Amino acid sequence: MGKLWLICIASISILLPFLCNAFSPETPTDRRVLVLLDDFAIMSSHSLYFNALKSRGFDLEFKLADDPKIALQRYGQYLYDALILFCPSVERFGGSIDVAAIVNFVDSGHDLIVAADVNASDLIREVGTECGVDFDEDPSAMVIDHIGYAVSGTEGDHTLIASDDFIKSDVILGGKKIEAPILFRGIGHAVSPANSLVLKVLSASPSAYSANPKSKLSTPPPLTGSAISLVSIVQARNNARLLITGSLSMFSNRFFRSGVQKARSQTKHEKSGNEQFLTEISKWIFHERGHLKAVNVKHHRVGETDEPALYRINDELEYAVEIYEWSGTSWEPYVANDVQLQFYMMSPYVLKTLSSDKKGLYSTSFKVPDVYGVFQFKVEHQKLGYTSLSLSKQIPVRPYRHNEYERFIPAAYPYYGAAFSMMAGFFIFSFAHLYSK
Amino acid sequence: MPTNLNFEMARSLVGFTVLLLFLSICESASFFQPISDSHRSAAVELFSPDHGSFKSLEETYEALRTFDVLGIEKKPDVTATACRLVSETVGSSSSTLKDLFYALKANSIVKCKINDKAYQGIITRLNAAVDGASSLPDFYYSVGGLLLVKGSKGDVHLADADGIFRSVKAFRQSDGRWRFSSNSPESSAFAAGIALETLAGVVSLASPELDQSLISTLNSDISKLFDSIEKYDDGALYFDDKLVDGHDHQGPLATTSSVVRGLTVFAAVTDERLNIPSNKILGLANFFLGIGVPGDAKDLFNQIDSLACLESNRVSIPLILSLPSTVLSVTKEDSLQVNVNTVLGSNAPPLTVKLVGVFTSGSKAASLVESQELVFDDGTGMYNLNNLPKSIDVGSYTFVFEIVLHEPEHEKIYVTGGQKKVPIFASGLIKIENAEIAVLDSDLGSIETQKKLDLAGQNAVSLSANHLQKLRVSFKLTTPHGLAFKPHQALLKLRHESKVEHIFVVGNSGKQFEMVLNFLGLVEKFFYLSGRYDIELAVGDAVMENSLLRAIGHIELDLPEPPEKATRPPPQPVDPYSRYGPKAEITHIFRAPEKRPPKELSLAFLGLTFLPLLGFLIGLLRLGVNLKNFPSNTVPATFATLFHVSIGAVLSLYVLFWLKLDLFQTLKLLGFLGVILVLVGHRVLSHLAATSAKLKSA
């Protein structure tokens, strides 16, 4: 019995830190990350990337993709906050994981990094399709660029690409400009134009195309030019974040350490931009950046402080909301000048940009429209790279009461005057009529 | 015990194959580069001590050994902390055998000062450990420890070397693998390496010397062990223990490293020459080099330590042929450079590198060049072929090299691996000529408009065509040697205003590249979209130095109206920057207030409304109105006054109703006042009626 007690205490004390560090709305950064590998040797060959993650406090758990014991959830609880798939050649996941399980994992707001590679398995392609990108269907196709390749003494087939066509977003790629091009070797993918959630973070140059470098090109390549995405991200509607790339080697120590010189360019960079690029983007993926929360939504009539149950038409009102951004360790004030408020009933009656005090407080004031009905205060903030904020609060607006209209209108003075002169006349007439002789 | 030597994880063979394939994709060429500066910088990065000291003595030794082999200047504080750790371990009698072993190993590199008394203590301890040892690791640590003490102190001997040799040998299995202890059923190549190292230690410590016949029995065991060697497609050889569920399972790198260490140490102590084919040694060297730069400290140590063992072994020393650049420009007349080094990058003995042949990739034709020798350049230490052979045009080739050692006895010491195939890309500037674009009439094929193109510069052609016409683009590519060149990428792109793109592969007919677009057949593919199409031409190849992507100009297409059921063009991606961003502000337009007359007008009319009252009053005065009929008696006079006060009160009530009272308050008061008014009025009126009747009758 005593032994059982000890085991209980021990298991609680082991589990406790995990339970405490778990993902929560208050601290949205991921903590527990499952890394699925084709081979444990990737731990060694890609250690710089993993170490960068570990040094930021992530708890990486490495498993073989075909390990029969892996599972994403147990007893309905997810065991991990994020999943990294560095297993381009896996044909079948072990354990209870399959494509549907991964989709459910993302649907419940968890993050995912997928790296495919040349000869990526159908399974990984399917995961890509579920994420909204289509990898080149030819299994031996690679992205080739005869103009934007990386100069190398030993690489002659121009499949090692130096790309620097980044998305212009500080929140995704960090404030520091990435100077050196990114080394990429792998397969390209296309982003479906109908899908507005997928963004190309790193695009190929206009001269690139996707084909098998060893065979002759007889039909037009399915992917060409800037339409080829090398690295794409998805921010789902539930703010789950995904990274999809067609190159596993771009995460490798070799590419991290390698120098890079783009063809036809004289500048030789000591180090490729891969480390900076992938580290910065992983900060975004794991919600260390660009994750917003809105608190303290307040509205009241001008001059009052309490929130009324309803407004009357033509009331002057003030609206304020505080917005903070998660910095990985704390909530920092979010500074922007394009947060907008809508006063909405079927369509916006008022749409106004909120003014910011640079400390996270956004406020504005406006006059309630002279239309009564059930309105909503709506803040729909969607910005490239940030989680979308969607606040709405219902508020009825009533018309004037009968006694709230204007009294003693000057235009009516003649009518008043007529009535009172009549009454005065009647009073005098009553004397004249009764007592005159 | 094996757990002590354990790695954190088991590696599956299949997985490792994938890694090697992956690495070979990374390396792209199937030849191996010797150890370079990237290993040195990786070593400094990986073996970075926390607060000046490493986690364990084992790691300290691994760091020191790696730095030593790579020739990295040791930081003084690393040496100092290592020495402190060593003397602590050596001085304490409670340290484990393993720690003692690694302390002595680290000491053999940093050469700390250990006093004689400590040495004596260690020797007694180790001797006792040898006598009491029952498993292979126990023997390994104790014998290894004694050997290290002998290295720095001298005069250490094993009394019963023969007996120890036999008891270690008892762990041997028939297939050349060894067991860790007599009660573990599994045998492994990893243990074989440790056993060989231990036995070599026993041989060196033996006094008097061991019987050579005892040693030579091991020769056949080593041969058997090498029968189980595994092979990759690129010629790399390695050992792997196929223990699927064993938690003490080592990866191929650690296993191979252990075997290489045991083998080379054993080869150094035996007089006999080991019967191992030299190509296998080269295969092992290729395995270690093929890993590239490991990202793990343990892997790096295993790689570097094994290569250091191979660098100076007594079996055969591998020589590695490598090329600094495999992309050579025909136009710039790059010279072919070849390096021959040992695995750690030091110079090779005098030798000649021969270019045996050059073959076009993917074809089985005969060699393009005669066999020739490369010239050795003393300055760079490289073997050069200053001008590429005339028969080498742009393209991808396989060059075959052979190393010939100058001195015949070197043949026994070194292994070169016979002929070496290296893929080489010969690149060059491609001449583009006769570039033309033309619009043709469909039925006759007659040229309507034709424009010359300068693909090296800018073009801005503007053409127009209808669906009955054709577009022809043609150009000619020639290599520096005047032959026709077929690039991998020859694409023509037409982009409509609405960003719908159409891509065509430009085919070649003999020497000329030509493509004819018959718009009649393409109308449907073009989604019946008339308008301006931008034309872009991309010509590129891996060996073409002037690959190009040019906007040629545009063509104005006049296509027929789409029929009812024509397919619509696919949606085009929306610019992500425009999708977000603030919307235009909306302000509510309030209902305009009703129009009112000016206040003055209202006041004027207010004045007018009092005019009739004024007229009425004047009229009354003119008529001579008087109050003579007002009752004179007190009682009727009181009632008359009350009557008029009541009328006044009712009228005031109306004013109050207008100002503030509501209907109910007013009615309540009015009812009260009404009753008084009626009663009082009745009395007044009846009094007045009586008075007037009295007057009439009178």
CA proximity to B328, closest of B476, B455, B431, B480: B480
Q: Tell whether A352 is within 8 A of chain B (Cβ).
A: yes
CA atoms within 13 A on the CB side of A171: 21
Higher pLDDT: B567 or A80? It is: A80
pLDDT of B246 strictly over 60: no
In this model, does residue B359 exceed pLDDT 50? yes
DSSP annotation of A262 reads B
Tell me what pLDDT residue A23 has. 52
- Percent of chain B past pLDDT 90, that is, above it, reads 12
Based on the fold, state whether residues B370 and B441 are members of the same structural domain: no
**Average pLDDT for residues A326-335, to the nearest whole number?**
89
Number of H helices, E strands in chain A: 9, 28
Question: Would residue B82 count as lying in a domain?
Answer: yes
User: Regarding predicted confidence, which is higher, B578 or A234?
Assistant: A234
Least confident range from A94-103, A221-230, A371-380, B507-516: namely: B507-516
Asked if B593 is an interface residue toward chain A (Cβ–Cβ < 8 A), one would say no
Could you give the CA distance from residue A312 to residue A302 in angstroms, rounded to a whole number? Answer: 13
pLDDT of residue B298: 84
CA B663 to chain centre: 83
Cβ atoms of A263 and A151 closer than 8 Å? yes
In this complex, the residue of A196, A253, A349 whose CB is nearest that of residue B588 is A349
- Do B471 and B371 belong to one domain? no
Beta strands in B104-215 (DSSP E): 178-179, 187-188
Among B594, B655, B651, B662, smallest CA distance to A410 is for B594
* CA B385/CA B401 separation, integer angstroms: 12
Nearest-CA distance A282 → chain B (Å): 20
pLDDT at A16: 44
- Give me the helix-helix angle, B97-110 and B116-132, nearest 10°: 140
Strands (DSSP E) contained in B180-235 are 187-188, 230-231
State ipTM: 0.77
Domain boundary among B318, B335, B351: B318
Considering only alpha carbons, which residue of chain A is nearest residue B503? Answer: A220
**Residue B279 in contact with partner chain A when CB distance is under 8 A:** no
DSSP, residue by residue, B65-115: HHHHHHTPPPPHHHHHHHHHHHHHHHH-SSS-HHHHHHHHHHHHHH-----
Geometric angle at alpha carbon B39, from B33 and B43, rounded to 5°: 160
Q: Say how far apart CA A47 and CA A36 lie, in whole Å.
A: 14
Average pLDDT score over chain B: 82
Answer with the one of B550, B569, B588 that is the final residue of a domain. Answer: B569
Please give the Cα distance from A349 to A347 (Å, whole number).
6
Closest to A45 (Cβ–Cβ): which among B295, B324, B427? B295
Residue-wise over B82-111: b if at least 16 C-beta within 10 A, else e? Answer: bbebbbebbeeeebebbbbbbbbbbbbbbe
Q: What SS3 state is found at B374?
A: coil
How much is the pLDDT for B9?
A: 39
Decide if pLDDT at B125 tops 90. no
DSSP class per residue in B11-58:
--HHHHHHHHHHHHHHH-SSS-----HHHHHHHHHHS--BTTB-SSHH
Write the pLDDT tens digit of every residue in B324-355.
888 888 888 888 888 888 888 888 888 888 88
pLDDT at B444: 67
From residue B267, give the alpha-carbon distance in Å to each of A21, A229, B143, B195. Answer: 55, 55, 17, 13
A140: contact with B, CB 8 A cutoff: no
Residue B249 clears pLDDT 70, i.e. is over it: no
Mark whether B668 and B551 lie in a shared domain.
no
Instruction: Point out the residue among B570, B596, B651 whose CB comes nearest to the CB of A411.
Output: B596
Q: Residue B92 maps to which CATH number?
A: 1.50.10.20
Q: Are residues B189 and B71 in the same domain?
A: yes
Structural domain includes residue B417: yes
Cα of B567 to nearest chain A Cα, Å: 17
Q: Does A226 touch chain B (CB under 8 A)?
A: no
- Asked if the Cβ–Cβ distance from B544 to A89 is below 8 Å, we say no
Minimal C-alpha gap between B132 and chain A (Å)? 36
Pairing state between β B178-179 and A316-326: unpaired
How distant is the Cα of B584 from the closest Cα of chain A, in angstroms?
8
Q: What is the mean pLDDT of chain A?
A: 88
CA pair distance A337, A325, nearest whole angstrom: 14
Question: Is the CB of A19 inside 8 Å of chain B's CB atoms?
Answer: no
**Residue A365 touches partner B, C-beta closer than 8 Å:** no
Q: Which residues of A touch B501 (CB under 8 A)?
A: 224-225, 227
Same domain, B181 and B325: no
Scan residues 481-540 of B and list those with Cβ closer than 8 Å to A: 488-491, 493, 501, 503-505, 536, 538, 540
Residue B12 lies in a domain: no
pLDDT tier for residue B244 given thresholds of 50, 70 and 90: very low
Taking Cα atoms as reference points, which of B78, B23, B30 lies closest to residue B253? Answer: B23
Strand order in the sheet with B512-518: B447-452, B431-441, B469-478, B512-518, B507-509
Which residue among B297, B318, B339 closes a domain? B318
CA distance B221 to B189: 11
Cβ separation B648–A221 shorter than 8 A: no
Span B407-416, pLDDT tens digits = 888 888 888 8
Q: Domain A26-285 belongs to what topology?
A: Rossmann fold (3.40.50)
In words, the CATH class of domain A291-398 is: mainly beta
Cα B534 versus chain centre, distance: 35
With bands split at pLDDT 50, 70 and 90, how would you rate the model's confidence at B455? confident
Q: Identify whether the C-beta of residue A251 lies closer than 8 Å to the C-beta of residue A231.
A: no
At B20 the pLDDT is: 43
Q: Tell me whether residue B608 is in a domain.
A: no
Instruction: Give the β-pairing of B461-466 and B548-558.
Output: parallel
- Going by the DSSP 8-state scheme, the letter that residue A280 receives in this structure is H
Are both B270 and B135 inside the same structural domain? yes
pLDDT, position A7: 57
Question: What is the C-alpha R_g of chain B?
Answer: 54
The rounded distance, in Å, linking the Cα atoms of A78 and A61 is 14
Ranges of H-type helices in B326-375? none
Angle A77-A78-A80 from CA coordinates, rounded to 5°: 150
Compute the distance between CA of residue B77 and CA of residue B49 in angstroms, rounded to an integer: 10
Closest CA to A348 of A371, A321, A319, A324: A371
**Interchain contact A216–B (C-beta under 8 A):** yes
3-class state of residue B133 by DSSP: coil
pLDDT at A345 over 90: yes
Angstrom distance (rounded) from CA A278 to CA A281: 5
Helix H segments across B393-518? Answer: 410-413
Dump pLDDT digits (tens) for A207-222: 999 999 888 888 889 8
Instruction: Indicate which of B249, B498, B537, B586 best probes the interface with A, i.e. most A CBs within 10 Å of its own CB.
Output: B586
Same domain, B85 and B231: yes
Q: How far apart are CA B532 and CA B512, in angstroms?
A: 28
pLDDT tens digits for range B578-633:
778 788 999 999 988 888 889 999 999 999 999 999 999 999 999 888 888 888 88
B25 pLDDT tier (thresholds 50, 70, 90):
very low
pLDDT at B672 over 90: yes
Tell me the backbone φ, ψ of residue B181, rounded to 5 degrees.
Answer: -150, 165
Determine the pLDDT at residue A30. Answer: 67
Q: Is B41 an 8 Å CB contact of chain A?
A: yes
Within-domain flag for B614: no
Cβ(B313)–Cβ(B362) under 8 Å?
no
List own/partner pairs for B615-622 with CB under 8 A and 24 or more apart: B616/A425, B616/A428, B616/A429, B617/A428, B620/A428, B620/A432
Residues of A in contact with B18 (CB under 8 A): 38-39, 89
Of A3-17, A25-39, A293-307, B173-187, the poorest mean pLDDT is in A3-17
3-state secondary structure of B334: coil
* Distance between CA atoms of residues A141 and A118, nearest Å: 7
What is the predicted pLDDT for the residue at B225?
A: 86
Task: For residues B445 and B462, state if they share a domain.
Answer: yes
Tokens, residue B214: 């005892």
Burial track A300-314 (b if 16+ CB lie within 10 A, e otherwise): bbeeeeeeeeebbbe
Q: How far is A421 from chain B (nearest CA, A)?
A: 6
User: CA of B631: which chain A residue's CA is closest?
Assistant: A435
**Chain segment A37-80, per-residue pLDDT in tens:** 988 778 878 888 998 999 988 999 998 898 888 899 888 889 99
Residues A149, A263 contacting (CB under 8 angstroms): yes
CA distance B302 to chain A (A): 13
At A255, is the secondary structure helix, strand, or coil? helix
Q: What percent of chain A has pLDDT over 90?
A: 52
Q: In the prediction, which pLDDT does B15 show?
A: 42
- Domain extent, residue B681, equals 633-689
Judging contacts by C-beta atoms under 8 Å, the chain A residues touching residue B22 are 45, 117, 248-249
Listing DSSP states for A15-56 in one string gives HHHHHHHS--SSS-S--EEEEEES-THHHHHTHHHHHHHHHT
> Inter-chain contact A224–B655, Cβ cutoff 8 Å?
no
CA of B625 to nearest chain A CA: how many angstroms apart?
A: 6
**Residue B421 CA: distances (Å) to CA of B235, B321, B353, B365:** 12, 10, 13, 15
* Yes or no, beta carbons of B294 and A44 under 8 Å apart: yes
Distance from C-alpha of B541 to C-alpha of B430, rounded to nearest angstrom? 10
Interchain contact A48–B (C-beta under 8 A): yes
Rounded Cα distance, A65 and A62, in Å? 9
Out of B583, B602, B630, closest to residue A351 by CB? B583
In this complex, the residue of B18, B295, B425 whose CB is nearest that of residue A44 is B295
Report d(CA B160, CA B182) in Å as an integer.
20
Q: Do B488 and A213 touch (CB under 8 A)?
A: yes
DSSP state of B594: P
Residue of A157, A371, A414 with shortest CB distance to B542: A157
B585 touches chain A (CB under 8 A): yes
Domain membership of residue B116 (yes or no) is: yes
Residue of chain B nearest A213, judged by CA positions: B488
Confidence of residue A181 (pLDDT cuts 50, 70, 90): very high
Mean pLDDT score, B149-155: 77
What's the pLDDT at B331?
83
Query: B551 and B406, same structural domain?
Result: no
Span B455-462, average pLDDT: 81
Min distance B1 CA to chain A CA atoms (Å)? 24
Q: What is the pLDDT of residue A11?
A: 54
pLDDT at B453: 82
The whole-number average pLDDT for the span B177-190 is: 80
B568 touching A (Cβ < 8 Å)? no
Percent of chain B with pLDDT over 70: 93
d(CA B552, CA B546): 17
pLDDT at B17: 42
CA distance A141 to chain B (A): 13
Q: Which of B541, B581, B587 sits opposite A338 (nearest CB)?
A: B581
- Number of independent structural domains in chain B: 4
Same domain, B419 and B516: no
Closest Cα in chain A, distance from residue B116 (Å): 42
Amino acid at residue number B348: A
B43 and B178 housed in the same domain: yes
Judged by phi (left if over 0) then psi (alpha if -120 to 50, else beta), residue A344 lies in beta
A:B CB pairs within 8 Å: 266
CA distance B384 to B353: 9
Question: Which residues of A fall within a CB distance of 8 Å from B9?
Answer: 40, 43, 62
CB B349 within 8 A of CB B403: no
Same domain, yes or no: B556 and B655 = no
- Does residue A19 have a pLDDT over 70? no
Mean pLDDT of B488-497: 90
Is B396 contained in some domain? yes
Q: Do B9 and A153 touch (CB under 8 A)?
A: no
Q: Would you give the DSSP letter of residue A67?
A: -
Does residue B11 sit within a domain? no
